Amino acid sequence: MQKVIKAIIFDLDGVIIDSNPEIEKFWHRWAKKTKRQLTRQNITEHIHGRKGVETLAALFNDIDDKTKEAIIKDAVEFDSQMNPEPIKGIYHFIQTLLQLKIPVGLVTSSHEKRALLMLQKQNLHNSFEAHVTAEEVTNGKPHPEPYLTIAKKLNQHPAYCLVFEDAISGVLSAKAAGMEVIGVNTEEAAQSLLNYGAACIISSFEELRVEQNILLGKNGISYTLQAP
């Protein structure tokens, strides 16, 4: 029997928008300025899917407060100028869900102002029934709180929610909340997403299709979409 899905939830960076390469460049630039090196593991564990303050605490904790303030100020300017491309197929996929009256939610480690700015740049700011941003939770990803919070906002049991995530911390968060997860990733971390519980990996939403109310993915993955 196919698993029934009554709500679909998206992460923002690396799932809706192709922003991860620019985000990595930002942190590499500050690593160079503060005379440190960032490894791929640093990026995977402490940058993607994490709040900026968590990245600072994990990778830049030894720098002085003035430099930390400069990084935060630079991040605000960086976000205002960034205009990332959408992940391929995201517009069509979200519109298909809305036509089927499937609730769509957003969970991001970004602050609300940045999240709304990025969605406005993609003309997707009116597409989500609910969202959860960094300000709304005490515990960020990989803790389940962000995804449990969006489930309450959408009035859905976590078992009926399908999440699209590109980061290990996000997959862990959604799985701990009791949700189904599909990974969105084209990098070497893709296998790690599978190892941590993603049902399959897609590189874009063009790899999915909806036939009537059935969502079909890779490796025989399929879900029944059921409007509440």
pLDDT in tens, 17-28: 998 788 888 888
pLDDT tens for each residue of the chain, 228 residues long: 689 999 999 999 999 999 878 888 888 899 999 999 998 888 878 887 777 888 888 889 899 999 999 998 888 888 888 889 999 999 999 999 999 999 999 999 999 999 999 999 999 999 999 999 999 999 999 999 999 999 999 999 999 999 999 999 999 999 999 999 999 987 767 888 999 999 999 999 999 999 989 999 877 889 999 998
Both 99 and 181 in one domain: the answer is yes
End residue of a domain, out of 62, 81, 100 = 81
Rounded to whole angstroms, the Cα distance separating 80 from 116 reads: 11
Q: How many domains does the chain have?
A: 2
| Phi/psi at 105 (5° precision) | -125, 165
Check the CA dihedral 92-96-99-104 and report its sign. Answer: negative
Query: Euclidean distance between the first and final Cα of the chain, in Å?
Result: 19
Both 135 and 196 in one domain: the answer is yes
The widest CA-to-CA distance across the chain, in whole angstroms, is: 57
End residue of a domain, out of 59, 81, 103 = 81
The pLDDT score that the predictor gives to residue 188 is 64
The whole domain housing 193 covers 3-18+84-225
Both 58 and 140 in one domain: the answer is no
CATH number of the domain encompassing residue 213: 3.40.50.1000
The pLDDT score that the predictor gives to residue 1 is 62
* The two structure tokens encoding residue 104: 């769509």
Both 94 and 46 in one domain: the answer is no
pTM above 0.85, yes or no: yes
